[in-house]
Structure 1
Amino acid sequence: MSQKKQLIIPCLIFIALLLLAGCGAQQSASDRFQGYTKAWQKKDFGGMYALLSKSAKKAISKHDFVARYTKIYSGIEAGSLHTSVKPDKNKKTIVHFKGVLETAAGPVRFSESVPMIQEKHGKETNWYLKWNPSLILPGMQTGDTVSVATQPANRGEIFDRNGKPLAMNGNAARIDLVPGKLGTGAARDKTLKQVAQLLGTTTDSINQALNQGWVQADSLVPIKVISASDTSLIKKVTNLPGVYRTTIATRVYPDGKASGHLTGYVGQVTADILKAHPNAGYTANSMIGRTGLEQIYENKLRARDGAVIRILNKDGNEKKIVAQKAPKNGTDIHLTIDQKVQDTLYAQMKNDAGTAVALNPKTGDVLGLVSAPSYDPNAFVLGLSAADYQKLSENKMKPLMNRFTQASTPGSVFKALTAAIALDQKAIDPNQAIAIKGKRWQKDASWGNYYVTRLDSASKVNLASALYRSDNIYFAQTALKIGAAAFASDARKYGLGESIPFPYPMQRSTLSNDGKLGSDLLLANSGYGQGEVSVTPLEMSLIYSSFSNQGNMIQPRLLLTDAAPSYWKKQAMSAATAQLLNKDLTQVISNPAGTGHDAAITGIPLAGKTGTPEFKKKQGKSGRENGWFIAYNTKDPKLLVTILIENTQKHGGSHYVTPKVKNVFENLIK
């Protein structure tokens, strides 16, 4: 290669690099404005200010620019910003910008032609905005201010089937102190001590409130919110010098603890909730359903406040309405729940740990759902102290746990399902008397030291006597006659392994951990509701509804409706099987030898089944027991009640539960 060619090639490369460097350093006006909108979307007001022209920066300082955007956008609850930017076809110094800014009053729409200018800032020459206040809000000019007016909406309320409120909008009493009227010295200290004792707080926390920077001598300083119905307490505390009551709006739960787990409660939105619900219209001051029906039906119940954003001129007169959104009240919810039923169930449960379900087996209307012990949702709304919450969360009886959603071992109440499967599979003759020796039995030596045991010692039992005597051995043998595959397959006909089609989420009931019955021992134990069987009280109630519906499992309902009842599982068992078992289950209560005989009520024929699942670390040793009892009236069936109480081993197992169910029927039907 000649020396001349060697010189030309490096020169061409050098020129090309200069051209590339120049292109890379110089953005177009629209590209530059895109950078501005990206900072805007992040609310990086300082980054936005950096892209302003020199003349714009002379008109407004960085401090004022950032402060103004921050104040206005906070006030209008500015959310996401969606933008589009296009260069002008004829003038490269003009950028056309369109944007939609979400606010408390709805979307604010921008459509601006923004002049750009090339300037040298430091060592760099680039495009900068000739900014004006219309890029805060459309139509805004220097000297204008922004007004935001909120138009509150009402949250939907929750009613029982008879129109009684379970969650409603009401008032509470806020107890306030006026520092200048508390007196001085020992008199003041005495008043604060009395206030603390009456309100269940401390003088330290009261003094902390009084020592806030904004507090003046005539300020109303909020101390605690209490129930407006606690008139005695309100009178005592407001009789003290410097203590006043302010009425404030709040959510009220008239049924208190009885419906605490059912209704749940509302609470202020947290940072985590806001993060989980972006662009949903919630703000740091919003209330949201935190648990129970308040959470499940949040989208229906939720109040969506209205708002108006106005631009005012320097004289304070309205210049323009930038955005406006009408308030939208939440939708009321009417439940199938009957407060009288709910309260009757809770009265039987409140001193124990357990759960109860009541439903109409013919319509599927759920009349009561109780978890005990419970909590008062009003306490959460009014403001539960950290100490009180700690007491609830550390309580060994777990009052914060919602038990009616949980699946657990059903024990002998499951025998009715085993009997139904066996009859439909023709695995047993219900009239055949089976000889059983003694109180324990095992299939063969492969079971080692494990035996199925029973409390009764009848030498021969048929299906009816096995049900009313609750014979574990009979049903263990019956399960083996059915066979693992048929038992598992037919159990699915009753919804085991499925989610119940019900608005209130429930755990899935299961026959076993893997849905199969992999051993004879597991199969035998499953026959009488032990092994790995786990069922919710609601699903057990739905299974028992089959006996009132010719073998069809009713579809449960929680929302009040005029629609005709429907079935969740059609012909889960045959009509003949349902009729036979309905007759046999009446003997559990009517027969003097029946395990549920102490629930018999003159004039109200009942059918049902007891159950006492055991949780023992070793067979033959004492251990924890739960007590179940399911009962329904057989004449014009309209009430089916399931009660489960934990830790009944020292109270007679299911015999601790049968009188409670009896009391429910006597109070509600007789």
Structure 2
Amino acid sequence: MRRRKRRFLFSTVCTLFILLAGLAGAALFFRIQGKIGASRKTPDALFLEYVECLSKADYTDMYRMLDEQSHLNISEEDFITRHKNIYEGIEASGITAQIGQVAEKDGEAVVSYNMSLGSIAGEINFSNQVKFRKEKKKGYQMVWDDSVIFPELGRSDKVRVSTDKAKRGSVFDRNGLLLAGKGTASSVGLVPGKMSEDSAGDLETLGNLLGISADAIGKKLSAKWVKEDSFVPLKTIKKVDELNLNSMEPREDNVKNKEFQDELLAVPGVLITDTEVRYYPLGESGAHLVGYVQNVTAEDLEKHSGEDYLSDSVIGRSGMEALFEKELKGTNGRTITITDSYGTVKKTLAAKPRVDGKDITLTIDSTLQDEIYQTFKEDKSCTVAMNPYTGEVLALVSTPSYDDNDFILGMSEEKWASLNDDERKPMFNRFRQRFAPGSSFKPITGAIGLSTGAIDPNEDFGGEGLSWRKDESWGNYYVTTLHDYSPVILENAFIYSDNIYFAKAALKIGYDDFMSGLDKLGFNQEIPFDISVTKSQYSNTERIETEVQLADSGYGQGQMLVNPIHLASLYTMFANQGNVMKPYLQYKEEPKSEVWLPGACSSEIADRIQTALGKVISSEHGTGHAAYRNDIEFAGKTGTAEIKASKDDRTGTELGWFAVFTTDPNLETPILLVSMTEDVKDRGGSGYVVRKDKAILNSYISGGR
């Protein structure tokens, strides 16, 4: 019995051993067969692997697939460099291949295929063949030469990408006058063959005049391309306006420029020639609106990768140049060719035509833009001019300003520092900001009060004298006003600009209805305008917190801050039966108004407020009477906002406002002006702004005075 058990166990162990040995042998067999199978891939399968590596830019694995003779013909380093330069140079993408016929004979195979790939110049498609040779240990390997890349490509040939640079579009005003576009400047340079023997002294003199070191000029002159008769450009400066120079009253800056160029020309070897530049005819008058371009930086190229910018491209930095960058820049043309060692084109692989940038026409009136700037240029101010019936923006001016042409010509560090150190902030774009509106806000309170029914326009609020507080809970805080009049009704409150009336009106409206009314008028929201502007607000927090803040808000104080473009848009409701027009900047041959806020108030309320605002101008008691004209009916509202650190602050400043519009929709030149000027305290308050706007209106609207 025991012997039988031992024999049985021995037999089982032997069987298991044989079975395991068999399995191991089978596994070894399949591994060997797998390796043999891998080395015996068909030529078409190998080529598809090659293409897959190519699409991944895995040039190292591609090189490993070549036969021994190909390895002798080209080193791995040269192979990788050749492919990298070509495929990255043309920005190849989406590389695919379709196999055609495969012909095998005597250990060689020829694979026919069709290849397609995307490139910087468009789609490239071609038919080609590649040869494979069977080697003893490896099976089929690719026989490579340059024609595998492109059929016509030889060993000494090159694949070139040529660029036809797109021309940047121009910006025009509504009358076809140039705002940004092609201009001419003066390029100052040296011709080495015409320099004097004392070149060191001349370079020092020239460097001092141009603000360039003599060493920097010397490096430019020592460049390899420079010859005796070469023109070596050093700096671009403003061109002398010969026409203006010969006029009866030449501009002082033009005279100084001529004297400066005469000094430059006195240095032996200096030559001044014309050069094309981006030009801004309005200069300081339109700088904040039009903006400027600058050469792209490395950061720009990285940020805008794939957007067709070149190392010498320009990009819009501000204003319209930045806003319409995509439309203005255009698309560069590209041609990819195969050229021989002499530069002769053998084959054009792909070509994409140049598409120049689009021209942009704005609703802006250059003459009005300049008139406003000249009127306010010594002030810290901003003005918005609109057609109140269409929403067309006629002018956007911020003062003081800067000359956007300086950025094109190359601004010196000294000039840049002076702009940034100027306490008047000439680089600061005021029409994009928000300010305390003061009494210019009262028509908005009136519209909300009438719409909610909180205000009866004929109710006499009673005379309170020149100061008032609701009750003792306000402590020592009083609302003050400048005029005593009777009866204290809505129309008279507009005419005399009564702060007390509108403080009481806000309290009658109440917190929730007042804030709700303002929310419906676009407060705390982005306004639908081409230029991004700061949101208007009625509180520094989410809501109006106190009764005093609510009362102050009613006449545009408290924590009320309004963007001038937003305020101008809201005033359009009084000229359009209660509809607020959407402001816009792109010109249309047939102006088509678009309503932003339909039914902001009823037509009856709009007419009532417009009538009252008309009397602000026509009445001899009206705060805007200085703008009165007997041939044109205006409606408007003044405003003087106090800017102070606290309620007891006596050292604060004042902002002056004037919002005014023509009431006749059939007028040839309808206009709405909203102007804000800082620091009008002791200069007449809002009256200072009214007088300046009157001069603008008289100039813009022809006729009697």
Q: What is the TM-score normalised by the length of structure 1?
A: 0.87
Paired position in structure 1 for 2:566: 539
Residue 120 of structure 2 corresponds to residue 108 of structure 1: no
User: Aligned pair 1:641/2:658, yes or no?
Assistant: no
Aligned length: 659
Shift of 1:661: 0.9
| Aligned-partner SS, 1:361 | coil
**Offset from partner CA, 1:35-60 (integer Å, 9 cap, x none):** 632553xxx76786676554334333
Which of the numbers 431, 435, 452 marks the counterpart of 1:404? 431
CA contact (8 A) 2:495 2:623 kept: yes
Q: 1:594 aligns with which of 610, 618, 622?
A: 622
Equivalence for 1:228: 239
Question: Which residue number corresponds to residue 631 of structure 1?
Answer: 660
| Secondary structure class of the residue paired with 2:505 | helix
SS in 2 for 1:106: coil
Give, in angstroms, the shift of residue 415 of structure 1: 0.7
SS in structure 2 of the partner of residue 368 of structure 1 = strand
Partner of 2:699: 667
TM-score by length of 2: 0.83
CA distance in 2, matches of 1:605, 1:476: 29
- In structure 2, the residue matched to 1:617 is 645
Secondary structure of 1:282's aligned partner: coil
**Does 2:158 align with 1:145?**
yes
- Which of 414, 421, 425 is the equivalent residue of 2:452? 425
Alignment-mate amino acid for residue 629 of structure 1: F
> Which residue in 1 is equivalent to 2:687?
655
Distance 1:648 1:66 in 2: 71
Distance in 2 of aligned mates of 1:15 and 1:376:
86
Choose the corresponding residue for 1:582, options 605, 610, 614. 610
The 5-angstrom pairing of residues 19-418 of structure 1 reads 29=46, 32-33=49-50, 36-40=53-57, 53-62=67-76, 64-65=78-79, 68=82, 78-84=90-96, 98-103=115-120, 105-109=121-125, 114=130, 130-134=143-147, 136-137=149-150, 139-185=152-198, 188-212=199-223, 215-229=226-240, 232=258, 233-313=260-340, 316-418=343-445
Distance, in Å, in 2 between the alignment partners of 1:398 and 1:14 is 88
* Cα gap change, 1:379 to 1:623, in 2 (>3 Å): same
Partner of 2:248: none
Matched residue SS, 1:424:
helix
* Structure 1 residues 640 and 584: alpha-carbon distance in aligned structure 2, compared to 1, 3 A threshold: same
Deviation at 1:235, TM superposition (A): 5.0
Runs of 5+ in structure 2 lacking a partner? 1-8, 243-257
Which residue of structure 1 lines up, in the alignment, with residue 4 of structure 2? none
1:474 pairs with 2:501 = yes
| Secondary structure at 1:435 match in 2 | coil
3-state secondary structure, aligned to 2:504 = helix
> 2:613 and 2:411 mapped to 1: Cα distance?
47
Cα shift at 1:246? 4.0
Matched residues in 2 for 1:517 and 1:118: separation?
86
CA gap of 1:137–1:266, structure 2 versus 1, over 3 A, is farther
Return the alpha-carbon distance in structure 2 between the equivalents of residues 288 and 438 of structure 1: 59
- Mark the CA change 1:498 to 1:118 in structure 2 (over 3 Å): closer, same or farther: farther
When residues 465 and 47 of structure 1 are mapped into structure 2, their CA distance, relative to the original with a 3 A threshold, is farther
CA gap 1:609/1:45 in 2 versus in 1, 3 angstroms: farther
Distance 1:52 1:526, change over 3 A: farther
Q: 1:172 is matched by which residue type in structure 2?
A: A
Q: Give distance in 2, aligned partners of 1:32 and 1:176.
A: 57
Once the 2 structures are TM-superposed, how far is the Cα of residue 62 of structure 1 from its aligned partner? 4.9
Identity %: 37
Change (3 A) 1:250 1:52: farther
Q: Which has the larger radius of gyration?
A: 2
SS of residue in 2 equivalent to 1:661: helix
* Structure 1 equivalent of residue 593 of structure 2: 565
| 1:271 to 1:119, Cα distance in 2 relative to 1, 3 A | farther
**1:47/1:397 CA distance change after superposition, 3 Å:** farther
Counterparts of 2:224 and 2:474, CA distance in 1: 75
**Structure 1 residue matching 2:175: 3-state secondary structure:** coil
Q: What amino acid does structure 1 have at the position aligned with 2:393? A: V
Aligned residue identity for 1:404: F
Counterpart amino acid of residue 562 in structure 2: V
Query: 1:483 and 2:496 equivalent?
Result: no
Q: In terms of mean alpha carbon deviation, does 234-243 or 151-160 score higher?
A: 234-243
Alpha-carbon distance in structure 2 between the residues aligned to 1:446 and 1:534? 26
Structure 1 unaligned spans of 5+:
none
Output the CA distance in 2 between the equivalents of 1:89 and 1:584. 89
| Cα-to-partner distance string for 1:398-419 (whole Å, 9 max, x where unaligned) | 3333222223322221111101
